[in-house]
A and B are shown apart, each in its own frame.
Chain A
Amino acid sequence: MSQNSMRVMRAKDMRKTTFYQRLGAILGKTGVYAFLILVALIVLFPFYWMILSSLKSLYEYKLSKPTFWPQQVLLSNYTEAFTAANLGKLFLNTAYVGIVSTLLSLFITIITAFAFARLQFKGKELLFAALLGTMMIPGELFTITNYMTVSYLGWMNTFTALIVPFLVSVFYIYLLRQNFLQIPNELYLAAKVDGTSDWKYLWKVMVPLALPTLISITILKMMGAWNSYIWPRLVANDEAHRLVTNGLRDAFTDISGDTNYPVQMAAVALVSAPLFLVFVFLRKYIMAGVSRSGIKG
């Protein structure tokens, strides 16, 4: 065999492998997409089923052969759900608790983070380490005594009991302090030279610069109020102060009667709707906050 034909064969071999490699790559890509789309469908299915069921009549919902598109769209389920679960009142209560606790919590977080990031005082490092240490302890340990404290203070069945015990979040203080520390020291010193007070500097310079972090905290805190269940059930589960998650669970816990599932799903969809809106418009901030935190609410 001559040198030449050897070279030709080798070239053919090379082309062959690249062809197979390309085929493999295409098959691999298809497999990757097939896997991702399958998982995406599984992730989305409960949402689809929730909305679909909420639009069906009870008769259609109970058909032994399920329908995947409502034969007749029944929007009245939503109005029925709204009145059955008293959602208007629950929404208002939750919005009130969410807004007040978020505003107060933001204020406390900002001034505390500022003290830890910029001001000098004895025992700063030790105090900060002690704060971080409390993050390791599961919340249930606090709940037992806080439940007694709240009843001792006469806060049972008040909004105060829902708001005050959770105003300080060590995690948010930590998050904001890290953000404040990134703001260059020169800015602070320049402001000092100009005679700007600490207080003015904090609100005029630092807070605007840390806005993305503050937005993340706001969203997570509001979501926390919307999704909280255990504490509100313990301390304020009366008609006047009940929050949305408890109201939803209570309204449809009656197992003895014949549950109207479409109405139940409509109520679930209504409770989920604000969260979806937040997700659609503010996803960026949630993801940024979550990837640094790893906590829900």
Chain B
Amino acid sequence: MVESKQQWKAWLYLAPAIVLLLIFTVWPIINTIHMAFLENYNGLKAAGGATFNFGFANFQKVVSYRRFTQCMQNTMLLCVITVPISSILALLIAVALHSIKRFQKVLQTIFFLPYVTNSIAIGMVFAAMFNIVGSFLGMESEILVTPGIVNNIIEFFGGTKVNWINYGSTYTANLFVMAVYIIWNALPFKILILLGGLASINKQYYEAAKVDSTPHWRVLTRITVPLLSPMLAYVIITGFIAGFKEYTSIVGIFGESMGPANDAGRLNTMVGFIYDSLANNNQGRASAAALILFGVILVVTLINLWVSKKRVHY
């Protein structure tokens, strides 16, 4: 009697969450997978009563699009560039922060600051820093006004200015700007997690190393990194997952054209491709692309876990 009353009450507590999850989480999983296998599924046509064949055509189409392979390439390149650099940098910063006493709190606060920002808003600041106002070595009717603060700094140190994001800029320059912004944005979270990990390492290891007068570099590679490896693995895995979902940081810098003025969509990502397909009412294609993204993230995560199983020291 009491048992069954408990049961009934528990489900009452759970009801709002379960109803919402069924509508906005469970149903989307079923429906999205279903749509991905309905060939050329289109929301408008479906509403008009059209029927669609079951098959793999959406996947074949998505993979054969040059636009999609470009998106895939951009996403992968940004991941491969930014995740290792930001992880190593975060490790060095965390270790350095951990080794000092004075100003530790102040510096830690500064390093966390980029986390609490709006990625579109600060993307616009980065765009302004790299932006050239006026034309750049281009049309003669215009004159160069300012090359932007980044180019100012480069010229101060004797370099030549670069067309980073404007009309006619190179793909490499665009990627560089994106990588700088993404790394800047990714550091705070990684530093926070690694600092937490460092704080939990037993001090005795370091005291033993001190007695043996082990050089600092060896302490880092032989003690800190192995003992920190679970945290490092976590930071790298979440870094890859976030990297594969990159989208808003590019909107922040390039706007919705996702590329310089002469080549819109050049820096589009996999998430961007999904939203473009959705905007064109091509739900079948969007669903197939979303499943591919899910598959890629799953595979990369499994590879990461497999590597860390061999390397991580628990």
Contact = CB atoms under 8 A, between A and B. Distances in A.
Interface of A: 28-29, 32-33, 35-37, 39-40, 42-44, 46-47, 49-50, 53, 61-66, 108, 111-112, 114-115, 119-122, 124, 127, 131, 134, 136-149, 164-168, 173, 198, 223, 226-227, 229-230, 234, 245, 248-249, 252-253, 255, 261, 264-265, 268, 271-272, 275-276, 278-279, 283, 286-287, 290-291, 294, 296
Contacts of A144: 28, 32, 35, 274, 278, 283, 286-287, 290
Given A144-B28, A252-B124, A275-B118, 8 more contacts: A42-B184, A49-B129, A112-B14, A140-B293, A144-B274, A249-B124, A272-B118, A286-B115
Closest 6 CB pairs of A and B: A145-B28, A121-B10, A115-B13, A119-B10, A112-B17, A279-B116
Interface size class of B (residues with CB under 8 A): 35 or more
- Interface core residue of B21, B122, B124 (most chain A CB under 10 Å): B124
Given A168-B24, A249-B255, A46 B126 contact: yes
B110 interface: yes
A139 B99 CA distance: 39
Interface string B271-287: 10011001000010011
Given A46-B126, A145-B28, A198-B9, A138 B245 contact: yes
B122 A46 contact: yes
A142 B205 CA distance: 47
Interface in B49-80: none
A283 B28 contact: no
B7 A230 contact: no
Nearest to A116: B14
Nearest to B215: A24
A104 to B, nearest CB: 9
29 contacts: A32-B96, A35-B93, A39-B93, A40-B110, A43-B184, A50-B122, A50-B125, A66-B146, A119-B6, A124-B10, A131-B21, A140-B290, A140-B293, A141-B29, A142-B29, A143-B28, A149-B28, A165-B24, A229-B248, A230-B271, A248-B118, A255-B261, A268-B122, A272-B121, A275-B117, A275-B118, A278-B116, A283-B109, A287-B192
